Every structure is written in C-alpha cells, then in structure tokens.
Structure 1
C-alpha cells in the first residue's frame, strides 16, 4: 500500500469483523482518520473528547481487523495511525443469519451516528452563511423501482461521489472555499415485497 494514498474501499465478509467495526467510538475514529489524515491516539482523543487509553485500545482493535494501521517509518514515541481505506462496505446479500445479524448491528450504529451528526448540524445551522444553508440540508424522493433499478441508482450515486475522492487524500486539489461535507445515502423500501408475476405476464 502507498504511504500516502489508501485504497478506496475494504469489503467485509467476516461477521466477526463486522461486529468489531460496529462500535460508535471505532466508527468515529475511522471517520476521523479518513477525514483528517493520520494522527496519534492522543490527537484523536483530543478531537473526540475521549481519553487516550480508550482511543488507543479501539485503534488497536481496528488494526486487528484491517481497518487501521500504524504509519510506516513514523518517528517519535507514539506513532500515528491511519485508515487503510477511504470506505467500508459489507455483504448484504448473505442468507447466513450470523452475517445478517452482524450487518443489522452495524447499520444500527451507523444510523445512530448519522442522526447525531444531523442534530449537531441543526444546532448550528442558523449561524451558517446563507449559501451553505441553501446548499445543505435534508430531502427525500419516492421512487417506484425494481431491486435491479434501485441497485443501478445507488451505483450511479456512488460513481458521482467518487469524482471527489482525490480531494480527500490531497488537500492541494480542494478548491478555495471548500469544506468537508458528509453525504448520507439511504435507500429504504416501503411496503411488502411484491409477489413475482409469471413470466408470460411480464411481457409487454
């Protein structure tokens, strides 16, 4: 792996790794490393208003499952940590009940973190410049799509967001006036799963 630019994504297929990742502080630590670059446990503790031994322990646990690593060749008594990838994904197509339970646990932790960040933003939104209040915020859209079409929609969104990946690792590529923005993606099916029609009924 490059010393400067991490891989784009890691895909988790082990439920033990999913459960290890599904911890609020660990997910905040990874988000911090991905968003602000390598830092020591002491620096991370100060940023997250936590204590150093706690952050150090959870960084080691993240390293155990491949989410974080020590910066190679770093000098000093406390070597910085860095994220091994910019994104994490996992199998949601498994019928293994252990894997499904681990994924649900992780999704629950993520939802709680997203909700907290949204509430934090609302608390300061009134003080934001008008151009940022107009550009940011919440919204939703109702689609009538098949599972395949929904997968296509999310892939198109992922491809659009990937255009800005290089700005994460290279601050020189960030335009003047830019700031970190979290884009939260949710696709939430409503109602029962429709019954499949016979093949001849699907013909135009």
Structure 2
C-alpha cells in the first residue's frame, strides 16, 4: 500500500551539483603524450598536491629543472596541464593539472602494434604509482584513528563471469562517487576540519587457474 502524499508538500530541495570531474577518454595522441614515467609522475604530483613550478617539481622528483620544464610543456601541449595565470614570473611559471578523470579502454589499442609500447608504459607506471603510494602510507606515522580507518583488503573467494565482474566494478565506483559527493556537500561542517585527502585504490581482475598457466 502506498501512503498518500502530504496535502501541502514543501518544495523539493534544489539538486546538488555533481562534484565529478569531466571525463577525458584517452585516444592514441593523448596516450602517446602521457606514456612516459616522468611525465606521469609530474602529472600525479600536480593532481594530488596542486600547482607547482619546474624548480619545485624537480626538487621533489630529484630531476634537473630543464628536463622537468620540457616535460611540463609536453603535458601542456597535450592538454593535461595548464599554466596558472597571474602567478609567478616569466622565468618561473606555475602549472596545474587540468581537472579531468582519464578513462582508458585498452581494447582501443591492443590490436595496434604501434601503440603497444605506449600502452604498456602507461599501465605499468599506473600500477607502480599505486604501489609506491601504498608503501609510503605503510611507512608513515599516523594516529590510531587514521591507522584504523585505512585498510588493505583482498578477497580471493569469488568466482565471477565477465558480466558479474564488470557489475562489481561499476557498483564499487558508484559507492566512491556517492561518498565523494556527500563529502563535498558536508564541506562546511565542523567535522570537515578533520578531513584529509584520501586515495581509493581498487584492483579487481581475473586470475588464471593453475592448469591455464
């Protein structure tokens, strides 16, 4: 049985704008432009920590400023970063990551022999970055509250079809998006003062059985 509506319902609340960044689908040109270990590390630092200069990035990465400057220009040419205008000088430019979520479909490139090298570099560097971030977290000192809140989890007792695995990943992504948008709505609350940047890493993939290897 459905309840009858209130006789004078209050007006609905305006929808909350989505905090999701625009999605950039990686094509061959953008993949070639990004698939370099140092460029990917530079972009990751600008994405996670905000704008920086070639000098600052070189210091953090242990690289020559001139080398970093060359890669920054390359990233800018491919639309991954942009200059932060009104800041810095002609000799010291500030760069920031363009706000976008990168989406790469490996099926777009697997049958193209000219793209296999770039695809391999991109995927391996992505995995290495995630591994380095996890090991850094484990080596750092955290309060008990933050240490207990973090997790490194693995479930090995699932047997799924490709469709079920795709549905699992879509559902997990939806959970992350829901929490991101809830955090954006609650940004002005007192609890937000205790908030820190959080990385969510999800690795889910099929595993060959013993007699298939």
| Fold conserved between structures, TM > 0.5 | yes
Q: Which moved more, 1:139-148 or 1:156-165?
A: 156-165
Equivalent residue in structure 2 for 1:30, among 37, 43, 48 = 43
Matched residues in 1 for 2:188 and 2:65: separation?
A: 31
Equivalent residue in structure 2 for 1:46, among 59, 69, 80 = 59
Equivalent residue in structure 1 for 2:206, among 183, 189, 194 = 189
Q: What does residue 197 of structure 2 align with?
A: 180
Deviation at 1:19, TM superposition (A): 3.5
Gaps of 5+ in 1: 193-204
Contact 1:10 1:85 in 2 (8 A): no
Contact 1:12 1:18 in 2 (8 A): yes
Q: What does residue 83 of structure 1 align with?
A: 97
Deviation at 1:7, TM superposition (A): 4.4
> For the aligned residues, what is the CA RMSD?
2.9
Q: What does residue 139 of structure 1 align with?
A: 153
Matched residues in 1 for 2:202 and 2:39: separation?
A: 20
Deviation at 1:45, TM superposition (A): 2.6
- Residues 1-204 of structure 1: pairs in structure 2 closer than 5 A: 7-14=21-28, 16-74=29-87, 76-77=89-90, 78-94=92-108, 95-98=110-113, 99-124=115-140, 127-142=141-156, 143-163=158-178, 164=180, 175-191=192-208
- List per-residue Cα deviations over 1:22-59 (Å, max 9, x = no partner): 22222222122222222222232334343322221111
Matched residues in 1 for 2:63 and 2:200: separation?
A: 25
Gaps of 5+ in 2: 1-18
SS in 2 for 1:80: strand
Distance 1:159 1:7, change over 3 A: same
- List per-residue Cα deviations over 1:158-200 (Å, max 9, x = no partner): 22223426979xx8689111112222121121126xxxxxxxx
Q: TM-score, normalised by structure 1?
A: 0.74
Contact 2:20 2:177 in 1 (8 A): no
Matched residues in 1 for 2:34 and 2:182: separation?
A: 25
Q: TM-score, normalised by structure 2?
A: 0.72
Matched residues in 2 for 1:67 and 1:131: separation?
A: 36
Instruction: Give 1 or 2 for the bigger CA radius of gyration.
Output: 2
Aligned length: 183
Deviation at 1:13, TM superposition (A): 1.6
